[in-house]
Amino acid sequence: MFDLGMSELLVIGIVALIVIGPKDLPGLFRSLGQFTGKMRGMAREFSRAMEAAADESGVKDVARDLKNVTSAKSMGLEAVKDAASKFEKWDPLKNAARPSVVTPKPDLQPDPQAVPPAVPPSAPAMGPETQALVAAKAERQAIVKDAAEKLKAAKPKRAAAPDPAPAPEPGKKPRAPRKPKSDKIPKAEA
């Protein structure tokens, strides 16, 4: 209620000591304590009366029902939290199913001209979306492979590299080869 620190209480005590005097100060504190006690008692009594009135009118029951209705458990959020924690702990490599081998029926012979499946038969069973993605990836790889083969076939072969040292023209001296540049030039001995 009142935010009085130690320094404020000390100032109030010194002023009270000067104004009231040392003889009447203990009586003043005694009556102030009794008054404070009566005020606290009245506040407690008022609080109890309000709680009793709330109990009689059923406010506690309504508050409890409202709390139960809005709880995470009754809304199903507890199950969502459990599922989320299980998902975070899930390791797909640990829980992977064993791949199943698909064997063709004896009465059905495979067509030799048919395109081989994009997924090897030893791979685990996939859903339709995954199969569509695998098929699209295989188509893209086939297109890239065809384009690479066409580029290789269409690329003209380069002619042999020209001779780096052309033959000197008649009547001219051939040039001496250039020396590589070096940071360290050897000093001539004298």
**pLDDT tens, N- to C-terminus, the chain (190 residues):** 577 889 998 998 899 889 988 899 889 889 989 999 999 999 999 999 998 888 888 877 888 888 887 777 767 777 788 888 888 887 777 655 555 555 655 555 555 555 555 555 555 677 888 888 999 999 999 999 999 888 888 876 665 555 555 665 667 776 777 776 665 565 655 4
Residue (of 41, 12, 16, 37) closest to 26 by Cα position: 16
Q: Is the pTM of this model over 0.95?
A: no
**How many Cα atoms sit within 13 Å of 3 on the Cβ side?**
0
Alpha carbons 147 and 155: distance in angstroms, whole number: 12
Alpha carbons 2 and 36: distance in angstroms, whole number: 13
Alpha carbons 133 and 141: distance in angstroms, whole number: 12
Contacts of 138 (CB under 8 A, 6+ apart): 118
Six-digit token string for 48? 């109890």
